[in-house]
Amino acid sequence: MVDAALDIINASAGYSGRIVLDAIKLSARKGELTAIVGPNGHGKSTLLKAISGLVPVTSGEIRLDGLRIDRLRPDQIVERGVIQVPQGDLLFPAMTVHENLLMGAYANSGRLAERLDFVFTLLPRLKERRNQTAGTLSGGERRMCGIGRGLMAGGEVLMLDEPSLGLAPIVIEHIYEVIFNLRREGRTILLVEENAERIAEHADMIHLLDNGRIAWSGLGAELMARPEIVETYLGV
């Protein structure tokens, strides 16, 4: 696999002895949108946390551009360019939007002005709100701030954990427009989403995570053509 940015090779992970992920094997290819779908509580977020080094990988490997990253500290993984926009945003509520964005560039502060410009152009609402504390933003604005903060890191792989969670449909549409645009610009994106339908059309590759294992992998259109899988695993 020449063009894989992120390779997860038979990785298992879990919390204090309880295995949540069981021998996961998948890749996120350069410039593609790779999606992980599946029911709640089946390990999607744990997978992103394991990649970020927040949950220990107990066996198997995770590689970025061929180099192992699964034994590194979370800050070292960020330095290597694997950036996560966590579920529920996890903004710094008492900091302003601007400070939150600066925190995004903490590990990699080169070309700061240029990146800030890019984020403000992509998400103009953040520019309007730049001096407002993040704790006072609306749900949609918070999500944009979380994504903007992730983009400030200028990383190689952007991982997004359920960016649609808890938002109104019209806001979800806007957020996904931004994500699909990033994909068109050639960003490598690893996206976790509960609703397969929402991303089926745009994802280059979809992996279905069920009970800590990859139950199915394929193209988005293929998944939608298999109603029995969608019904069994995603309850649609």
Q: Tell me the C-alpha distance between 22 and 43, whole Å.
A: 9
**CB of 76: closest distance to other proteins in angstroms?**
8
Sign of CA dihedral 208, 214, 220, 221: negative
Nearer Cβ to other proteins, position 103 or 178? Answer: 103
Instruction: Determine contact, residues 183/30, Cβ cutoff 8 Å.
Output: no
Angle at 179 between CA 175 and CA 183, to 5 degrees: 165
Q: How far out from the chain centre does Cα 15 lie?
A: 20
State in angstroms the smallest separation of the CB of 74 from other proteins: 4
Tell me which H or E stretch contains 83: strand 82-85
Nearer to other proteins, 142 or 214 (CB): 142
* Two tokens, residue 221: 């259109």
Chain residues in the site for other proteins (CB under 8 A): 52-54, 73-75, 78-79, 83-84, 86, 90-95, 99, 102-104, 106-109, 135, 137-139, 149, 153, 166
Name the residue among 109, 28, 22, 98 with its Cα closest to residue 63.
Answer: 28
Minimum gap (Å) between residue 87 Cβ and other proteins: 11
- Minimum CB distance to other proteins, residue 75 (Å): 4
Nearer to other proteins, 43 or 155 (CB): 155
Closest distance to other proteins from the beta carbon of 217 (Å): 26
Alpha helices in 163-207 (DSSP H): 169-184, 196-200
Whichever of 89 and 203 has its CB closer to other proteins, that residue is 89
DSSP 136: G
| CB nearer to other proteins: pick between 73 and 111 | 73
